[in-house]
Amino acid sequence: MPLRLRFFFSVLTGALLLIPALVLYRELSQRSDIWWTPPPMALSIAESQDRVQIYLRGKPLAPLVAARQLSVTNELGSSPVGADDIGLRFNNWDQVRAARIPTLLVYAACCGGELVLFLLIALGRLAYRGENASVAA
């Protein structure tokens, strides 16, 4: 392959390699602590029973709150804890990570394929047949 074409295709393939590489870098360098439920959207005990169960001294928390057996003591005195006083936040990182796996695998495969193509072009390992003279009929 002529040096000019090899250089052109190497630059083109290198530029195309940057696209999935940058996406992979962005995804893998993203903070993992941002996937908590926002505080204003914290769930109540009743809404979160399918994901978490909280026990206090071996007893479920929900019946203790319903029976007003829990109280909070502060400088003003003691007051019972109600169900609306408790909010639960969840870390959804496991779900986000599982949902990202197929996308990351596709981008990783693209990076691998582009890297192999780049090396083949840059090292001149692709078969190149020069232009043939046209055959007169």
Given a contact cutoff of 8 angstroms between Cβ atoms, the answer to whether 19 and 106 are in contact is: no
Query: How far, in Å, CA of 33 to CA of 6, rounded?
Result: 45
Q: Tell whether 42 and 77 lie within a shared domain.
A: yes
Residue 16: inside a domain, yes or no?
Answer: yes
DSSP 111-130: HHHHHHHHHHHHTT-S---P
Give the pLDDT of residue 54: 87
Give the pLDDT of residue 38: 84
The domain tally of the chain equals: 2
Q: Tell whether 43 and 26 lie within a shared domain.
A: no
Q: pLDDT tens per residue, the chain (137 residues)?
A: 678 888 888 888 888 889 889 988 988 888 877 788 888 888 888 888 888 888 888 888 888 888 888 888 888 888 888 888 888 888 888 888 888 899 999 999 999 998 998 888 888 777 666 666 666 65
Q: Tell whether 85 and 44 lie within a shared domain.
A: yes
Query: How far, in Å, CA of 102 to CA of 99, rounded?
Result: 7
What residues make up the domain containing 45? 38-90
CA distances from 131 to 69, 128, 135 (A): 90, 9, 12
Q: Tell whether 43 and 86 lie within a shared domain.
A: yes
